[in-house]
Amino acid sequence: MEKKPDFDLASAHKFFSADCFNHTWDYIEKPDRSTDDDQEMLLLSMASLWHWTQRPDCTPGNLSVGYWQLSRVYALLHQPGMARQYAHLCLKSSQGEGTLPFHLGYAYEALARAEQISNNIEKMNEYLDLARNACESIKDADTRKQLLVDLETIGK
């Protein structure tokens, strides 16, 4: 028999989806991660995505961002298969209802990173071109600039 928690479950999912996402970034930006840090980064990103899937307000855009972050984590962990898998999920979600051009641009950015760590330079460059093309549809100048800056870190 399922027991109801003594706290508001919807509020918990809302809190942990964002909190785990933000803590994942602390590890992504950490220059010298240990093996334990890598594990924590992966678990936080997975937890963030899972909590998003439990929220009634979860949109394809939210899933796109969650899949994108998990792909980025796997790229940092040099696991191209998993990075590619979550990048493809990101792309699929980025083509869902209510998504924005930056979702699509970052989906291609994730795919380019996955191909970079796979040493598939030709495919990486194809995805970089698609990401740059998606940038043209991003109306917000700061968002467009950030994606372009992130794209410049690929292939270096």
**Model-level pTM greater than 0.95?**
no
Same domain, 48 and 101: no
Residue 68 identity: W
Q: What share of the chain is helix, strand, coil (3-state, %, to 5)?
A: 75, 0, 25
Residue 2 identity: E
For residues 41 and 47, what is the distance between their CA atoms, to the nearest angstrom?
10
Residue 2 lies in a domain: no
Same domain, 141 and 106: yes
Residue 86, pLDDT above cutoff 90: yes
Q: Count up the domains in the chain and report the number.
A: 2
User: What is the predicted pLDDT for the residue at 1?
Assistant: 61
Question: Once rounded to an integer, what is the mean pLDDT over residues 36-64?
Answer: 97
CA distances from 130 to 48, 111, 112, 148, 149 (A): 27, 10, 9, 12, 15
For residues 93 and 68, what is the distance between their CA atoms, to the nearest angstrom?
10
Residue 119, pLDDT above cutoff 70: yes
Residue 126 lies in a domain: yes
**Structural domain that includes position 34:** 9-58
Residue 90, pLDDT above cutoff 70: yes
Residue 149 lies in a domain: yes
pLDDT tens, residue by residue, 63-85:
999 999 999 999 999 999 999 99
Last residue of some domain: 43, 58, 73?
Answer: 58
User: What is the predicted pLDDT for the residue at 32?
Assistant: 96
Q: What percent of the chain has pLDDT over 90?
A: 90
Same domain, 42 and 83: no
